[in-house]
Amino acid sequence: MTTVITRLWTTCLFLFFCFQMNGQKELLEKKYQFVSYDKIPTWKGLAVNWGQAKEAIHLFDVEKYKGHGNYVCYGLKTGLLFGQFKDLVRDPKKRVYLPIFLYDLRTMPIEKGGKTYTWAVRLEDYSYTDDRLSMEQTFVRLMKAVEKHIKKQVPNAGHGIAILASPSASLPNLTIRGGVEQAGYATMTLSELIANTKPVITKELTTKKTKGTASLDKSALSTNILNEGTAVGYLRFVKNGNEDKVKSDFKNILLYQSIPYRVPIANGILTLEPQTPFSHVNLLAKNRGTINAYFTTKLPSNFLSKYENKLVKISCKKEQGENKFTIEKISEKAAQEHWSKQGKLKVIIPEPDVSVTSFSHFKTGARSVQNVTCIGAKASNYALLYHQLPEHTRPGFAIPFYFYFQTIQSCGADKLIKNLLDNKENWSVEQIEKMLETIRAKIASASLNESIFNELEVICNQYYKGKKVRLRSSTNCEDLAEFNGAGLYVSKGFWQGSERAIIQRKILEVYASLWLVRAFEERDFFGIDHRKTAMGILINEAFPDEYANGVALTLPNPTGTPTIHINTQYGELSVTNPEGAEIPEVIYFRAFNSKWYVTESKSSVHNIFVDNAILTPLVRQLQTACAKIDGLLRKKVVDPENYGVDVEFKIMKEGKVFKLYIKQARLLNVVLPE
């Protein structure tokens, strides 16, 4: 039976059941449901306010919000980036959110121990740092919260099942089964849940009967395809607990024993545990354009012996609602031909311009060379801010690409880079990583051109006397509309008056970071031509002893002008990675011209804008600046409705006066990766 028929059948049963509820409220909004594992009506949701006395359960529209973090950012209007969201999930001391799946079993109830179960809850694995007792207490509390939420709407909704992972690195797992069951909740693994829900619609695995292909019984294995396509690579089986040992390699197809939290770059993804269409793994596969499927039956005993560590070609297709999964061994020659033609993600970066041979002075220098091709995206964005928002920016300078290329040529690193790029397709991951390490070491041993020191000394003596100077990476392969590249490269600092040896070491560290493994792999996956990559350096005054620091996001609003979300924290305390109970201040403007802002949370340390009249002029200045920056950056892209901007700012107390400074701004793709 096809998936479409299965969905219709499930929906009809669900509607029939709802009709039989004698006027009771529906359990939850049906329109938010999707079908998991081809048969189980499911909601995606969150427990929120976990650190407070009364938590709440939110379910959301998975078509509108592409993940838990996306919903928290846009649905709850927190403006949190995904990294910030994860930080407020994993650590029990900081926890604000718990991401869940709620399964509706009313059309296919499960009988166990003389009881009937009509709903189940699974906690999404976010690499929790809880110990066993903490996780047990957390899960029991979660079950009670969900049960209370359900019974407010349907008093006689029935009993719930706690879904636990098999004993492994995943949490929560069966090690807490005893405590959960003692609290009155039945437990099952996800595989047991799927096996016990009826009707079970099986889909067959087909295999091409070509020479060298394993002979598999079609009835012995079935699969559910979540992202279609073709993958070619070495099939690598990843056992529980070995997930972190897997390295990125586009020539690998990864078969995971359980669902991993993070998947390195690969040609395809397969799991033995079930996934949902909106799982982290599937969203990642869709973003990367790689196949993703899970097996719904056990692997035949001869599957791994036939295919593990062998070159295979896998095709995943859905034809008229049926899953078509084929696998065959292929030759090295055939694999190479496929890889050469494979339509990987392709990001075209600006060609570097090396004609500019002197530092760019944003105040007095030519505007025509203050662009991505000469000084990199970060520096060119700052130059734009400096000219458009002079009252909120400090003097800025840039070391153009010319000096980077001069440096790698003078030390011979350019020849190593050429060797790497000429041979990387034939090298192992280990060989590539070793060469990248050699390239970085070669750059670190270089001597800088005398003119770099001369120009820096003039700038530092005039603008940064007695101050700390920040050297910020500024490449032509980051902060782009098509490629964010956040966190791939490094920035360094030094005090004005430092010895040349210290300054040289810092600059060379920034240059060398272009060839960090993480940066190389990410660029490689997105099809960026490494030969065109270039490193410039943005020179700014550092911000020691700031009164406050923060991040502001503008997010598109279909009903009007974009909203502005502002996260701020006192002093140098981190907004993106708060420690312990250090909750940042979160406010947002419903529109660019809103008269008032809405307070989402107050800082647990010190008020910034909220209840602080002395800073009211600054929050208005920030509101105006964000609106202006949004207009400046979004007009650069062809589809501005898909973008907002990410603005980093500082508040400094200069004498008795508070001053707002914009540190950085870049485009933000509103579809956040999970």
CA-CA distance, 578 to 573, in Å (whole number)?
Answer: 7
Prior bond of 390 cis (ω within 30°): no
CA-CA distance, 283 to 509, in Å (whole number)?
Answer: 34
Q: What average pLDDT does range 590-618 have in this prediction?
A: 89
Please give the residue that has the higher pLDDT: either 133 or 668: 133
Residue 401: left (phi > 0), alpha (psi -120 to 50), or beta?
A: alpha
In the numeric block, the tokens 């933000």 are attached to 668
Q: What is the pLDDT of residue 280?
A: 65
Length of the chain: 674
Percent of the chain at pLDDT > 70 equals 87
Q: Which two tokens stand for residue 649?
A: 């700012």
- Does the CA dihedral 124-130-135-139 come out positive or negative? negative
Q: What is the pLDDT of residue 30?
A: 63
**Looking at the predicted structure, is the pLDDT value of residue 172 above 50?**
yes
CA-CA distance, 13 to 19, in Å (whole number)?
Answer: 10
- Does the CA dihedral 504-506-508-511 come out positive or negative? negative
CA-CA distance, 321 to 318, in Å (whole number)?
Answer: 6
Domain boundaries, the chain: 3-196, 218-341, 360-541, 548-669
- Does the CA dihedral 332-334-335-336 come out positive or negative? positive
Residue 222 dihedral angles phi and psi, to the nearest 5°? -135, 160
Cβ-contact 231, 291 below 8 angstroms? yes
CA-CA distance, 172 to 166, in Å (whole number)?
Answer: 9
CA-CA distance, 412 to 423, in Å (whole number)?
Answer: 17
Selection from 298, 251, 256 nearest residue 275 by Cα: 256
In the numeric block, the tokens 């609003």 are attached to 557
* pLDDT band (50, 70, 90) for residue 445: very high
CA-CA distance, 288 to 524, in Å (whole number)?
Answer: 12
CA-CA distance, 160 to 609, in Å (whole number)?
Answer: 44
What is the DSSP secondary structure assignment for residue 245, as one 8-state letter?
Answer: G
Say what the pTM is.
0.61
Per-residue b/e over 499-510, b at no fewer than 16 CB within 10 Å? eeeebbebbbbb
CA-CA distance, 392 to 115, in Å (whole number)?
Answer: 65
Longest dimension (CA), the chain: 85
Q: What is the pLDDT of residue 582?
A: 59
Question: Could you give the count of Cα atoms lying within 13 Å of 584 in the half-sphere of its Cβ?
Answer: 28
Give per-residue pLDDT as tens, 1-35.
Answer: 333 333 333 333 333 333 333 333 445 556 688 88
For the domain made up of 360-541, give the CATH fold. Dna Ligase; domain 1 (3.30.1490)
Give per-residue pLDDT as tens, 481-520.
Answer: 888 777 789 999 999 999 999 999 999 999 999 999 989 9
CA-CA distance, 27 to 25, in Å (whole number)?
Answer: 6
CATH class entry, domain 218-341: alpha beta
The residue type at 549: N
* pLDDT band (50, 70, 90) for residue 668: confident
**Looking at the predicted structure, is the pLDDT value of residue 245 above 60?**
yes
CA-CA distance, 39 to 104, in Å (whole number)?
Answer: 10
Residues 6+ apart with CB under 8 A from 358: 400, 451, 455
When mean pLDDT is compared across 305-319, 321-335, 530-544, 657-671, the lowest value belongs to 657-671
Mean pLDDT for the chain overall: 85
Q: What is the pLDDT of residue 69?
A: 87
**Looking at the predicted structure, is the pLDDT value of residue 124 above 80?**
yes
When mean pLDDT is compared across 22-36, 174-188, 385-399, 477-491, the lowest value belongs to 22-36
Cβ-contact 186, 117 below 8 angstroms? yes
CA-CA distance, 165 to 188, in Å (whole number)?
Answer: 8
When mean pLDDT is compared across 272-286, 402-416, 610-624, the lowest value belongs to 272-286
For the domain made up of 548-669, give the CATH fold. D-amino Acid Aminotransferase; Chain A, domain 1 (3.30.470)
Residues 6+ apart with CB under 8 A from 640: 634
Residue 139 is inside which H or E element, if any? helix 132-153
